[in-house]
Amino acid sequence: MKTSEVRKKYLDFMQERGHVIVPGSPLVPENDPTTLFTGSGMQPMIQYLLGTKHPQGTRVSDSQKCFRADDIEEVGDSRHTTLFEMLGNWSFGDYFKEQQIKWMWEFLTKELKLDPNRLYITAFGGDEQAGLPKDEDAPRVWQELFSSVGIEAGIADMGSEEVGGKRGMKDGERIFYYDSAKNWWSRAGVPENMPAGEPGGPDSEMFYEFTSIEHDTKWGEHCHPNCDCGRFIEIGNNVFMQYLKQEDGTFKELEHKNIDHGSGLERLVAATNDSADVFTIDVFQDIIKPLEQKSGKEYSDVQYQASFRIIADHLRAAETMIEEGILPSNTEQGYFTRRLIRRSIIHADKLGVPAGELSNNHAVKAEELQFRKTLEKGLKEFNKIKELEGKEITGHDAYVLFTTYGFPIELTQELAEELNIGVDIEQFKKEMQKHKEESRVGAEQKFKGGLADTSEETTAYHTAAHLMLAGLRKELGDGVTQRGSNITAERVRFDFTYSEKVERDVLDKVEDYVNGAINAGASVVVEEMDKEAAKESGAVGAFWDKYPDIVTVYNIKGSDGTVYSRELCGGPHVESTQDLSKFGKFKIKKESSSSAGVRRIKAVFVAE
């Protein structure tokens, strides 16, 4: 099957069972403080899992593009990708475990025609320390379904992944209990790491067995569903989102129990084709086949497979990011776009793909041109370092080559190997881990719509940011759209699309617009409405094709009928602009470049 076929089968299947199909959200999350990217299908749904009414009802389904930056180094094997599409369905207080499991069985075995003899299931074995019981319901339902096709499905306790590798699977066993490290789902991971107010729940994962793969004992003495040898691949996860963590560390059941299901589309397609190599499916072969022609190398040649896979994944991810406006840069999301392209270039050189022929995308071509100039500088720096280091390049110098000169660690290793000198990879990894942790701390400063918190001051700045965008569009034209924000109780940092420096006299007019709205004591009114009607009414939104059919619009409107701002948003906001006046006068302190085609403003309230 092709990727588009499996996607359509799933969405049609869910629609026939009462789900409203909603569009996926942008790759840059709008309502999640924990990451720079949408990394799971449930991220855009969190407010509804916590009880907010979804405009489309209690049953929704979608296909969500996701990106996981932490998986970059894993790409190169047969199944890891950075960008993937997650097929999802949700029940917000509607159906629960039994119905979800029965639908998944029907979809996998009847719609996709997967052999039930190749399906294996995991379930939550409980967490005594957190006071969370073992899930006995899910295994019971799965057992009944296997029995309906003549398969006696034995249940076994594995505990941890490590124990599973030592114990292995006994004859007749098909359903396995694992601990909360494997079969509990929340954005923060295991129950002990969850903050108060975070929802979570046990899950039941579905695995497909590729019988052509021999177990590799480097992953454990025996194989089992959660083994990383590649014989078993997870093709879906049913999360039973039923708990909320309390301030005292205990868990209470949510008033409305929810279903949060996700299946990796690419892995599902590979399973339908009985191929343990996800890169054999159409969306990757569409990239790999032209590379074979340009390089004269074949994907089937094992020595080149990792490079083909890295390029296929990274180009697909980078071009998707570019389509969503995430251009290559040295900061935040753009850093990853740049890193993906540059790693692709390194591996294209290994394959012998001619310079400039990696991609037809203009942004990729421009980045390649810039990177090749950077490589020249990095090579000069490498040559200086190698003379000083003697027999080994330190991890710190390798780190500096990477972060300052854009010199990938793979290239440093390759050149060092040619000179018969070593590279301290362990120290390099420690330096990179420290860099990642610092980056993650920076990312965690973000909150809803880029808010650091929901204090009165931060909420005031959020409302002022809406007015500022309206003022910018009034002065610079409707081509101006928001490209990100970071708002604290002390200031607003706001990125927007514009190709040149904004002069001070224009910024003064924008200030006057914001302060005029504040002085007018305009009301902030929220309404839910049809997406097309919202668009026709002049509401501002960055990704119209990504929004659901019913959207939330915030109107800032004066008593004389003047509409100061009309924008799609998830809140929170003040009730009246009069509430902003207590903080002083709105002042734009600085305007500068953020990245290509994007400007950045820093603004504050100053006492009058």
Report pLDDT digits (tens) over 49-102: 888 888 899 999 999 999 988 778 889 998 899 999 999 999 999 999 999 999
Number of domains observed in the structure of the chain: 3
Give the tokens for residue 331. 């900061």
Residues 71 and 126 in one domain: yes
CA distance 207 to 209: 7
User: Environment class of residue 196 by beta-carbon count within 10 Å: exposed (0-12), middle (13-18) or buried (19+)?
Assistant: exposed
Contact 549, 56 (CB under 8 A): yes
What residue type is 182 in one-letter code? Answer: K
Cα 393–Cα 399–Cα 403 angle in degrees, nearest 5: 140
Residues 430 and 571 in one domain: no
* DSSP at 479: T
Residues 568 and 509 in one domain: yes
Q: Note whether residue 290 is domain-resident.
A: no
DSSP calls for 162-227 = HHHHHH---TTEEEEEE-HHHHEE-TT-SGGGPPTT-EEEEEEEEEEE-TTSPPPGGG-SS--TT-
In this structure, the strands spanning 422-423 and 392-393 are parallel
Residues 124 and 226 in one domain: yes
Q: What is the pLDDT at residue 447?
A: 39
The predicted model scores a pTM of: 0.73
In terms of Cα–Cα distance, which of 52, 50, 92, 90 is closest to 244?
50
Contact 77, 103 (CB under 8 A): no
CA distance 338 to 456: 37
CA distance 258 to 249: 21
Contact 68, 232 (CB under 8 A): no
Q: Which domain holds residue 521?
A: 448-606
Instruction: Tell me which residues of the chain have a pLDDT lower than 50.
Output: 32-33, 442-449
Residues 311 and 243 in one domain: no
In this structure, the strands spanning 20-21 and 59-67 are parallel
Q: Note whether residue 97 is domain-resident.
A: yes
CA distance 606 to 608: 6
Residues 322 and 190 in one domain: no
CA distance 603 to 198: 32
Give the tokens for residue 295. 């390089």
CA distances from 292 to 78, 273, 341, 351 (A): 18, 22, 18, 9
Give the tokens for residue 578. 């009069």
Q: Note whether residue 285 is domain-resident.
A: no
Residues 150 and 264 in one domain: yes
* Cα dihedral 425, 428, 430, 435 sign: negative
Residues 561 and 583 in one domain: yes
Q: Note whether residue 289 is domain-resident.
A: no
CATH number of domain containing 592: 3.30.980.10
What residue type is 167 in one-letter code? Answer: R
Give the tokens for residue 173. 């066993």
Q: What is the pLDDT at residue 390?
A: 62
CA distance 434 to 555: 43
Residues 267 and 137 in one domain: yes
In terms of Cα–Cα distance, which of 237, 259, 281 is closest to 78?
281
Residues 530 and 591 in one domain: yes
* Cα dihedral 375, 378, 384, 385 sign: negative
Q: Note whether residue 76 is domain-resident.
A: yes
CA end-to-end distance (rounded Å), the chain: 66
Contact 399, 431 (CB under 8 A): yes
In terms of Cα–Cα distance, which of 573, 567, 566 is closest to 454?
573
Residues 118 and 258 in one domain: yes
Final residue in a domain of this structure, among 408, 443, 478: 443
What residue type is 200 in one-letter code? Answer: G
CA distance 101 to 256: 18
Final residue in a domain of this structure, among 443, 463, 481: 443
Three-state DSSP at 100 gives helix
Residues 427 and 522 in one domain: no
Q: Note whether residue 295 is domain-resident.
A: no
Helix (H) or strand (E) holding 289: helix 282-295
In terms of Cα–Cα distance, which of 184, 270, 286, 192 is closest to 233?
270
Backbone angles phi, psi at 313, to 5 degrees: -65, -50
Rounded to the nearest 10 degrees, what angle do helices 362-389 and 332-351 cross at?
A: 80
CA distance 228 to 533: 49
| Residue tagged 């301030």 (tokens) | 247
Q: Note whether residue 296 is domain-resident.
A: no
In terms of Cα–Cα distance, which of 203, 201, 192, 202 is closest to 250?
192
Final residue in a domain of this structure, among 280, 313, 342: 280
CATH number of domain containing 89: 3.30.930.10
DSSP calls for 349-411 = HHHTPPTT-S-S-HHHHHHHHHHHHHHHHHHHHHHHHHHHHTTEE-HHHHHHHHHHH---HHH
